[in-house]
A and B are shown apart, each in its own frame.
Chain A
């Protein structure tokens, strides 16, 4: 099956710094990538949808300037958490969508962000 990777798998940073998380589709071209956030013991929450070469569409309540998304190519999307604060500590998951006869979505392994 298709593989989606995320890097880093975990990161610890100081409050006020920016953190970039990469999401790559390894063996297919993803027309659409999604970024999710998951708090402990809760379901995934969609943050934004990004299409290659265009601006991301953010869900209500998600700060665009806080969570910068760049979908530079059909195999790479990045999420940058700017000026991170402890409340941004969470598990961030990306998924990549493939436009085929049966559209499907492949999930990355996630990145655990801890902001001190």
Chain B
């Protein structure tokens, strides 16, 4: 079993739909990252969370440390949101080493 599990692996939705991507992990962590990777490869760091909830535009990220679970939500999804979304956790005691999820491929159809 991977230490970081994302679900779903693939998600196709219509423009405007509310999107949720989940990340569960099995280790104690000091931080969790949500990243976006577009076709062509470039990675954008969306959020770094250690507790609670963060919002940036149409993106919302939440984390429940006790349940070892985080979600990334996209409201009013748009085709330009199509990308791979990656969850990565920083284990407790680690400076920067990250454990990566496999990613969720999101396709938003117009």
Contacts and interface: CB of A to CB of B under 8 A. Distances in A.
Interface of A: 1, 32, 34, 38, 43-44, 46, 49, 91, 93, 97, 102-110, 112
Given A102-B31, A107-B45, 16 more contacts: A43-B102, A43-B103, A44-B86, A49-B97, A91-B41, A93-B41, A93-B43, A102-B48, A102-B50, A103-B31, A103-B95, A104-B31, A104-B48, A105-B96, A109-B41, A112-B41
Contacts of A105: 33, 45, 48, 96, 98
B52 interface: no
Interface residues of B, number: 20
- Binding site of A, secondary structure by majority: helix, strand, loop or mixed? strand
A46 B98 contact: yes
A93 B27 CA distance: 25
Given A43-B102, A43-B103, A97 B96 contact: yes
